[in-house]
Structure 1
Amino acid sequence: MLVHSTFSGAEGPLSVAIAWGDGTTDTVTADASEPLVSKHPYTEVGQYTVTVTVTDPTTNTQAVNKVTVTTLGSDFTPHAPLRLLDTRNGTGQAMGKVPAYGSTSVKITGSGTVPDGVTAVVLNVTVTNTTASGHIIASGSGRPMPSTSSINYGPGETVPNLVIVPVGSDGRVNLDNRGWESVDLIADITGYFAASASSGYTSLSPTRFVDTREGQGTAKGQVIGHGSFGVQIAGAGGVPKGATAVSLNVTVTNPREAGHLTVYPSGQAAPTASNLNFTAGQTVANSVIVPVGPDGRIMVRNGSWQPTDVVIDVNGYYTPNSQAAYVPNHPIPTRMVDTRNTGKQLAARDYMHLLDAPNVEAYVLNTTVTNTTGTGFLSVAPDPNTREQYENGTATPPARPISSNMNWTAGKTAANLAQAAPADSGMVAFWNQGWENIDLIIDEFGYYGTD
């Protein structure tokens, strides 16, 4: 936070005390003829009253001025997974599909324990009962509809994706069906953001916590049908004790039958909400933000009647001590990359570098892969090179990550949210881990800032 002070009617040096409203005070000597610019980092979001007291030692007089400031960004509050919308059975709206090029809205405030005044919400949105191709756009009620997409779907597909979307002044978000046929939509909440002190975000380089194929993080072997297992999150793999929620990328592979996966905090029964849907033999991933149970664990339930393998990568966590607050792109998300418009696809086994902003803990992105001719997966990881190194030709390829953010098959368009942590250089690498070229689309929804 910056405070600009100017002085009049005084000469010589002045003693300036700035009480920032959070219990801290800075005292400096200022030249009366020059404006004073003071900078202060707040450790919690909120509204503060800054009091500036100027003392002229020559005349022993004082002047006091006060100003109210509001910090940039919002903190996160986890919410037990809760279904807010299901057009198949009339949850959240009258039963019935969302028509072609139609929309529905989801009431956020007042649902569950969500208070008035929230700035953004975390939803797992699923489109199902599709008969044609299209995409879904999530946006804040009362805001312009962005040109970016949240979910892409084809005929006969059930596709989920995590979205972090601004909440309109009426407490709602809109879901628009941009397809030529009607679809069913499902929306489950797992948390919300507000401009009051709660939990900030800390990013991690993607870290594998669970791989049932290898027995990492849980027993080796597929998760049985309608079976579940627990994962220790807090106090493990760089996540501290006291974490309130965790940001994951969850992948299902080798499923023997169609089904869904549910991730939820330990200490409670499995909710009706789901995090990702799969078909027999499919490898599919989805981002998940989930509260951590009182014992520091989360639970994973296989909703299929048959076994499947599960892989979990952790890319960040929320705690009251984390200082990065969420700042959405205003007024709408921004399309940063679309290789379809450049005529140059992302080459097989290659990467592209992107982004370079100071004081960013993580970027909130929607990544989409399309025009695929084979199978593969996308990895999003920090890139230690600087922009200057790329410009002068001295950059070296970063280590190839083993974590995955999204999986695809030939002819399919796949999308997934990525909470992408930059390296100290501010750069992020996007790896095509397949053996064929792909088109990549990257939409920025916001970022977690530390300033």
Structure 2
Amino acid sequence: MNRLLVFLGLLAVVPEAFATDVWDDPFPGVRHLHRTGASNLNIHAAVVDLCAPGVSVRTTAYAERAQRTSAFATAVGAQLAINADFSCRPVDVAPGSPFPPCLGHVAYVTYGMAMHDGVTWPGTLGLDALLAFGVDRAQMYDNADKQPFESWMREGTSGHFSNVINGAANGYDCPIDPRTAMGLSKDRTKLILVVADGRNTYRGITCREAADLMVELGADRGTGLDSGGSSTMWFAGQGVLNHPSDGTERVVGNHLAIYAPGVGSPSHCAPPPTTINASAALPAVAPFGAPGRFNSIVPVRLFDTRSAGSSANLLTLARDADQRVSAGSTFSVEIAGAFGVPANATAVAANLTATDALAGGFATVWPAGLAKPVASSLNYGVGGAVTNTSLTGLGTQGRISVSPSTPAHFVADLQGYFAPTGAGFVPVAPRRLLDTRSDPGGILKAATPRTIVPAATPQPLAYALNLAVTGSTAGGFVTVYPCGQSVPTSSSINFAAGQTVSAAVLASTGPTGICAQANVDVHLIVDRNGTFEATGGLDFQALAPVRLVDTRDAASPWVGRTTRQTPLPLKLDALAGLPAQTKAVALNVTVTGGVDDGFATIYPCSGGWPGTSNINYRAGQTIANSALVGLGTDGKVCLYSSGRTHVVIDLTGVFFGALPAQPDAGVVQPDASILDPDAGSEPLDAGAGEVPDASIPGGSGGGTGSSGGSGGGTGASGGGKPIDWPSENPAGGGPCGCSGGALGTLSALAALAWLARRRRAARS
């Protein structure tokens, strides 16, 4: 008798202990479990490999709501679909609503946030557990996170209540009923979907049992979805697999569909982290010429290949049939002894702009007389104007050489030069000095001079600045110059309408500071990276440009795209050939092949991320910017990227000597966090191009620019009084409401049932 009671008790409490599991593979990357058992247990589950060829996720647009799951899946051509979030049914939104939070809302609008193609639904009731998908990314948030929309999110649906957290059921439960649930594995590569029949002749499952099953199938995070008569799982070629409790499919608010064609790249596969290649050998460096100290000047134009008169001083200039500079050609310009530069100058700070290009490409600038290095100074796209500053040693007869990879026109402006006497560089922790988006003075108005760096005591001779522009409605340029002097006929940064772009400048100070003027209204952000002081400071030593990092190369110190929001260190104070007491470096940083919109910062590791940015990029864009960076107390520089992108870093020079005892620490302003990477769409031809890949036979040359999109949409508000969600467990008790004493004998048998489930999972 006791054995019979134990058997019957086990059957009632853990019927899955005697369940039958049948696994099949209906689509590439999709494993299907059909579990049946006592009391007419009937569960369908799918484990979707988000890294399988061609796998992607599609959720419901606002205009597509209020469909049966099968109709939605068929319309979008999916292989698999389930119903998704709870929604306000017509009876809920009318007067006398059984669910008051829905009263007055649009029928079939979801309780939590829903989105498709980066656009969120209007009018949703609040923020809850969320599963979101983007390029190379899937992420699940707990209901307590109240996670709002972020620009990387393209597809997503909410659920109500997080029943799996950190790989374990969290104790939340509700009565036996039909169930739909979804979960995500810890490595974010497996999507788990569960639908259980209930009511009528089918047993159903509790929320805890749904959570246990998702954990069994590999979920680290999980949440419940709309259940009861809404629960539906549909497969292409098979139709609805389960038995909806209404006797037919119910119209639901939104859906979660899976494409699994077996070909192509997966859309949401979580990538491996960037590899730190400890065995990578950094190249030796070769100092070129004598060291020097900086002398700032009012910017002066060196050449403009669009003008015959302004390019008459260029040596060996070759043009194509359209008079652009020929691809692969090399020309040089003699600077020492001209343009107000003394004959004993050793290096220059020059601002190079590419414009009117026929194809995306890159330009290399280097000391004349040296072999062309495997390095890039500027990356450009079709048509648009792109600017970058480089510190370059003066080579044979005081010249620098320039070579483009594709036909384009080039404009160069001189910002200053290095000579035996002048100002020494003092690197400081990057600090945001101005952001017109939050500054009381507002946007930088067209043709209106504005002080961007006020006078200081003592006054540096020049500043190393990083400029960023955003929010313009037309293309244009900004010129930075000493306050009190005439605005020079040169540009410091060029931009297209709506573009967010950065450029480094070495800016001379005037009696009242540094000023800027734009030819169109634009927001301007100014970060300081260092100063040039009349006494003390570091001398500059030009180098033959050398490549330090290319994350596309397996031999690089960093391999693979950057991991989001994760600093990458690079120790540079021990490079062979460096001058003694090297304290700062002149770098050119290029991003290419990104899968996110974002920004990157390069900074001394010892100070931590400063909350500034050096370069802003769109997904797929190739763009470069230069930076002067202190090595900090540990001799390292770090790169922080908000998104995933490949990075190329070239070294063009170093600063060495003794620093002041206590240089300015550069306290970060509270709002100096992020230069908005979503500040308007970018034209296809603005700032795209290539990175030279001569060091990698057959390597990728980068990509073409892309608008990336701003994400759009409006997120649901998470503020105010918490929503009174409908009770899923009116009794308020546990899954069975029984006492531990009465069925204590069953605990060991329940453990056996758990072991049985583990064995089934292992066999699958």
How does the TM-score come out when normalised to structure 1?
Answer: 0.75
User: Structure 2 CA distance, aligned partners of 1:322 and 1:72?
Assistant: 18
Q: 1 or 2, which has the higher strand percentage?
A: 1
- What's 1:326 paired with? 540
For residues 91 and 366 of structure 1, do their structure 2 counterparts lie closer, same or farther at Cα, with a shift above 3 Å needed?
farther
> Cα deviations across residues 186-219 of structure 1 (Å, max 9, x unaligned)?
000010011x22111101110111110111xxx4
Gap runs ≥5 in structure 1: 1-70, 385-397
Q: Please identify runs of 4+ aligned residues in structure 1 that moved more than 3 A.
A: none
Q: 1 or 2, which has the higher helix percentage?
A: 2
User: Structure 2 CA distance, aligned partners of 1:275 and 1:111?
Assistant: 21
1:314 aligns with 2:528: yes
For residues 188 and 432 of structure 1, do their structure 2 counterparts lie closer, same or farther at Cα, with a shift above 3 Å needed?
same
1:360 corresponds, among 564, 582, 603, to 582
- What's 1:255 paired with? 472
2:637 corresponds, among 428, 441, 450, to 428
- What's 1:439 paired with? 646
2:338 corresponds, among 107, 111, 114, to 111
The answer (yes or no) to whether the contact 1:383–1:429 under 8 Å persists in 2 is yes
SS of alignment partner, residue 185 of structure 1: strand
Equivalent residue runs for 1:47-446 within 5 Å: 73-94=291-312, 96-179=323-406, 182-194=407-419, 196-215=420-439, 219-235=440-456, 241-295=458-512, 297-304=513-520, 307-329=521-543, 332-342=544-554, 343-357=559-573, 359-384=581-606, 399-434=608-643, 437-446=644-653
The answer (yes or no) to whether the contact 1:365–1:442 under 8 Å persists in 2 is yes
Instruction: Measure how far apart 1:169 and its partner are.
Output: 2.9
More divergent stretch after superposition (311-320 vs 82-91): 82-91
User: Structure 2 CA distance, aligned partners of 1:119 and 1:442?
Assistant: 23
> Cα deviations across residues 228-285 of structure 1 (Å, max 9, x unaligned)?
20133442xxxx5231111000000111110001101111111111011111111000
- What's 1:393 paired with? none
User: Structure 2 CA distance, aligned partners of 1:92 and 1:220?
Assistant: 37
The answer (yes or no) to whether the contact 2:597–2:618 under 8 Å persists in 1 is yes
> Cα deviations across residues 36-89 of structure 1 (Å, max 9, x unaligned)?
xxxxxxxxxxxxxxxxxxxxxxxxxxxxxxxxxxx9621111111001110112
User: Structure 2 CA distance, aligned partners of 1:368 and 1:84?
Assistant: 24
User: Structure 1 CA distance, aligned partners of 2:481 and 2:553?
Assistant: 40
User: Structure 1 CA distance, aligned partners of 2:426 and 2:454?
Assistant: 14
User: Structure 2 CA distance, aligned partners of 1:245 and 1:178?
Assistant: 33
The answer (yes or no) to whether the contact 1:356–1:425 under 8 Å persists in 2 is no
> Cα deviations across residues 269-307 of structure 1 (Å, max 9, x unaligned)?
111110111111110000000111133x01111122xx2
More divergent stretch after superposition (352-361 vs 185-194): 352-361
More divergent stretch after superposition (106-115 vs 73-82): 106-115
Instruction: Measure how far apart 1:380 and its partner are.
Output: 1.3
Number of equivalences: 351
User: Structure 2 CA distance, aligned partners of 1:374 and 1:345?
Assistant: 11
The answer (yes or no) to whether the contact 1:251–1:312 under 8 Å persists in 2 is yes
- What's 1:35 paired with? none
The answer (yes or no) to whether the contact 2:596–2:645 under 8 Å persists in 1 is no
User: Structure 1 CA distance, aligned partners of 2:537 and 2:630?
Assistant: 15
RMSD: 1.8
User: Structure 2 CA distance, aligned partners of 1:197 and 1:224?
Assistant: 38
Gap runs ≥5 in structure 2: 1-288, 313-318, 574-579, 659-764
Equivalent residue runs for 1:33-48 within 5 Å: none
> Which one-letter code corresponds to 1:351 in the other structure?
P
SS of alignment partner, residue 333 of structure 1: strand
SS of alignment partner, residue 339 of structure 2: coil
Instruction: Measure how far apart 1:220 and its partner are.
Output: 3.1
> Cα deviations across residues 382-411 of structure 1 (Å, max 9, x unaligned)?
212xxxxxxxxxxxxx74331100000111
- What's 2:749 paired with? none
Bigger radius of gyration among the two: 2
The answer (yes or no) to whether the contact 1:335–1:444 under 8 Å persists in 2 is yes
User: Structure 1 CA distance, aligned partners of 2:496 and 2:534?
Assistant: 38
SS of alignment partner, residue 400 of structure 1: coil
> Cα deviations across residues 82-124 of structure 1 (Å, max 9, x unaligned)?
0111011235424942111112222212333111021110100
User: Structure 1 CA distance, aligned partners of 2:646 and 2:496?
Assistant: 24
The answer (yes or no) to whether the contact 1:139–1:174 under 8 Å persists in 2 is yes
> Which one-letter code corresponds to 2:383 in the other structure?
G
> Which one-letter code corresponds to 1:325 in the other structure?
D
- What's 2:38 paired with? none
User: Structure 1 CA distance, aligned partners of 2:597 and 2:449?
Assistant: 29
The answer (yes or no) to whether the contact 1:223–1:310 under 8 Å persists in 2 is yes
Work out the percentage of aligned pairs sharing the same amino acid. 32
> Cα deviations across residues 163-201 of structure 1 (Å, max 9, x unaligned)?
11111231211111122xx2100000010011x221111
User: Structure 1 CA distance, aligned partners of 2:324 and 2:351?
Assistant: 18
User: Structure 1 CA distance, aligned partners of 2:621 and 2:588?
Assistant: 17
User: Structure 1 CA distance, aligned partners of 2:307 and 2:523?
Assistant: 30
How does the TM-score come out when normalised to structure 2?
Answer: 0.45
More divergent stretch after superposition (307-316 vs 421-430): 421-430
User: Structure 1 CA distance, aligned partners of 2:596 and 2:448?
Assistant: 32
